Amino acid sequence: MPPVLAVAAEQAGVKVTAIEIRGNKRIELPAITGRLTLKPGDPYTPENVRGQIKILYETGFFEDVQVETESGAGGVALAFLVREKPFITEIVFDGNKELSDDKLKEKITIKSQAFLDQPQAKESAEKIRLAYQGNGYFNCRVIPVVQTLDEDRKRLTFFVKEGDKARVKTVNFDGLHAVTKNEMFNVMATREWIPWYGLITQLKLPSWISDAGVLKQEEMNNDVERIKEILLNKGYLNVRVGLPTVDLSRR
């Protein structure tokens, strides 16, 4: 119904004669109509109709809602045309080697056998990325993609590009004078990466043997407390240690 006619209908006290839902597949009609507050016999107004569209979107079941009106002698019949969100029947991971499927399933919040929730899919992708970052993969990328299995079944795939582990080339201590770098390394978990020839040049085991020298966010955060503790033990009671900053480069 055009806006001018809608206003005229409102002013004339036109009533809603019928409400119909079309396009639903998985969601049963009572689960939809039970949410609507507009009933046959209620006044027909644009505000009332917009309110029902808002309610249908807020159910989380639909990605599109349209309305059709048909005027008759007794009033206006409404038909809400709905398109359901993709129904996710399975969730899979592709490209993950460092972390198993079971480990990634523990991280995600989105579930299968449910309608697709885009914010949850993005949140789950970010949780996967952070899990990889915690294991040293700071360049990891995760992309959620919905794939059609058939008309009623969709698969949500998290495509993972792990990248390489970030190696610690250099650790700098800005403002540190009371303790040497080596003393700090005695208590810290974060290490500088030692190449294979370090066994000869530095008389130290190469990092690939022990995984020391891999950049890990949780260890860096814990090192802040370790640094603070060693300085407190040396009498620096007002010491402050800020969170570390990371400068990533490809070299």
Which residues does 132 contact at the CB level (< 8 Å), separation at least 6?
Answer: 98, 99, 140, 142, 160, 162
Please tell me the predicted confidence (pLDDT) of residue 207: 52
Which residue in 115, 113, 90, 92 sits closest to 102, CA to CA?
A: 92
Please tell me the predicted confidence (pLDDT) of residue 202: 53
Distance in angstroms (rounded) separating the CA atoms of residues 210 and 96: 22
CB contact at 8 A, 23 and 81: yes
Question: Does 106 share its domain with 76?
Answer: no
Tally of structural domains, the chain: 3
Does residue 104 form part of some domain?
yes
Question: Does 211 share its domain with 140?
Answer: no
CATH of the domain at 111: 3.10.20.310
Please tell me the predicted confidence (pLDDT) of residue 203: 47
Please tell me the predicted confidence (pLDDT) of residue 198: 45
Count of other CB atoms within 10 angstroms of residue 80: 22
Question: Does 16 share its domain with 63?
Answer: yes
Please tell me the predicted confidence (pLDDT) of residue 251: 56
Please tell me the predicted confidence (pLDDT) of residue 250: 65
Hey, what are 74's tokens? Answer: 């007794």
Length of the chain, in residues: 251
Question: In which domain, by residue range, is 186 found?
Answer: 167-242
Question: Does 185 share its domain with 207?
Answer: yes
Please tell me the predicted confidence (pLDDT) of residue 4: 43
Question: Does 204 share its domain with 148?
Answer: no
Question: Does 9 share its domain with 79?
Answer: yes
Distance in angstroms (rounded) separating the CA atoms of residues 55 and 32: 10
For tokens 């809400």, name the residue: 80
CB contact burial 21-59 (16+ within 10 A = b; e otherwise): beebeebeeeebeeeeebeeeeebbeeebeebeeebeee
Which residue in 75, 125, 76, 55 sits closest to 96, CA to CA?
A: 125
Task: Return per-residue pLDDT of the chain as tens, 251 residues.
Answer: 555 445 445 545 899 999 999 999 999 999 999 999 999 999 999 999 999 999 999 999 999 999 999 998 889 999 999 999 999 999 999 999 999 999 999 999 999 999 999 999 999 999 999 999 888 898 899 999 999 988 778 999 999 999 988 877 788 888 888 888 888 888 888 877 666 444 445 545 555 556 666 778 788 888 899 988 988 988 888 888 888 877 777 65
CB contact at 8 A, 39 and 19: yes
Does residue 247 form part of some domain?
no
* Alpha-carbon distances, residue 223 vs 41, 177, 216 (angstroms): 69, 17, 11
Please tell me the predicted confidence (pLDDT) of residue 32: 95
Does residue 211 form part of some domain?
yes
Does residue 248 form part of some domain?
no
